[in-house]
Amino acid sequence: MYSKTFQQPQQTGKRTLRKRRPERSYMMTSTTSPSLRVAVAEWVPWTKVTQANTSLSIAGPMANLLFILASRLGFEYKLVTTPDGVWGAPDANGTWNGLLGLLQRQEVEASLGPFGVTHQREQVCDFSYPFHSVNMAILMIRPTMQSDVAGFLLPFTYVVWLLTLVSLVAMVVVMARVATAEASLYNTRNSNSMAKAAIWGLKAFHSGSGVFTVWGKCAACSEWLPPHDAGRVLVTTWLLASLVFMSSYSGILTAMLTVPRVTIPIDSLADLVAQNDLPWRLEAGSMMFQYFQEAEDGVRRKVFRGISGTIPDCYAAREDIATGVYAAICDRTTMRKAMSWDFSTSGQCHLYMSREDVYTNVPVAMAFRINSTYRAQADQIQCLRPPAADRSEGIAALDIEALAGCFLVLAGGLAAATLAFLVEAMGSWCCSS
């Protein structure tokens, strides 16, 4: 009824690599069973589609599911696909394209998918019980450590640097005014007060990380300190602030140079739309494409307006993503498969998944045409039914297994009472004898 091909373990010299569960690939053969048209599209690792001339074959978990359905429900199937190979989205005239378009036009009995279940898609097809849920995130090239020419500015924010510069200018102006006022008060000569104040401010700033000198007691320092007390109080105040500033700067800079950090530029949708270095793409005809296309809020709307194109799926575009051509939004299951391929082929990790999910808990299911008689039958198969569906309907009489605990407690109590009676009887017999 079905032809099955199995992959043999790879041989490397005399050593056999670890055996993996064989993948089965299914194709239709002639039979007298009802023949159904089933639409398929590739979504690794769920479905791997291979086309040889005009015939299609599939492998993966969804291929196994289709084999179970065909065996249990007694039908044969012919695999078909669409030229665009997309899942499907509504066109401007209300009709759907892709696999969902085939279901809407009832050109196929079912589509393997699996599809992300949405309310809009439920208008053109009937979904089976969801058998899995996926989380969507951003897949991109793995960030690496990069040298920064302006790294010496990183210990402080730009606001701190700006306030420090403003403070220095303000302190120089105030010291120049104070020096001029003190010269007039003490009838001393004062020339170039602004230049001297600038030297005092810069010298104090430079000395903030060295010797802290108050009131000019140090002979080497007294040459550049103001000659009177008011000016020296200002220099001392600025010297104290400089000490804190320079100590913090040198400590943070040393720590940053000792422990290199890798900056993650994109870890959320907000990070994605805020940068211009890495373009991004969406999977054509996917649920996420439709989700962002219909979004009205700022960030999600910017995601759709800023896309540089579409891709068939993240696994098909894994090489471009790994080399930094663009980032993509897709499910974490496919991301892990792409990362496994990357490490298996290169021995290194070139891909990175964002920490923040773009969309969480998307239920996925197989799709049938509306009012298909096979959908209800498929839902009764154990592998598609949720665990809650295994409960019996209505109120059933309790059997011995349900009350086994109560009977065991009763038996234990009787045994304990019998033992206590025997002990009492033996004690009474000993006393009487």
Q: Express each pLDDT in 329-357 by its tens digit.
A: 999 999 999 999 999 999 989 999 999 99
Q: Tell which wins on pLDDT, 33 or 328.
A: 328
Could you please state the CATH topology (level 3) that the domain comprising 2-132+364-379 is classified under. D-Maltodextrin-Binding Protein; domain 2 (3.40.190)
C-beta separation of 168 from 200 below 8 A: no
Confidence of residue 149 (pLDDT cuts 50, 70, 90): low
pLDDT, tens digit (0-9, with 9 covering 90-100), for 381-390: 756 665 655 5
By the 8 A CB rule, do 170 and 238 touch?
no
pTM over 0.85: no
- Whether the per-residue pLDDT at 147 is higher than 70: the answer is no
Known binding-site residues equal 114, 121
Whole-Å CA distances, 42 to 57, 341, 364: 11, 17, 15
What is the pLDDT at residue 189? 73
pLDDT, residue 390, reads: 57
Whole-number Cα distances in Å, 176 to 173, 181, 351? 5, 9, 59
Same fold, 2-132+364-379 and 269-362: yes
Binding residues for L-glutamate, as ranges, are 114, 121
What is the domain class of 269-362 according to CATH? alpha beta
Domain boundaries in the chain? 2-132+364-379, 151-258, 269-362
Of 115, 124, 119, nearest to 95 by C-alpha is 124
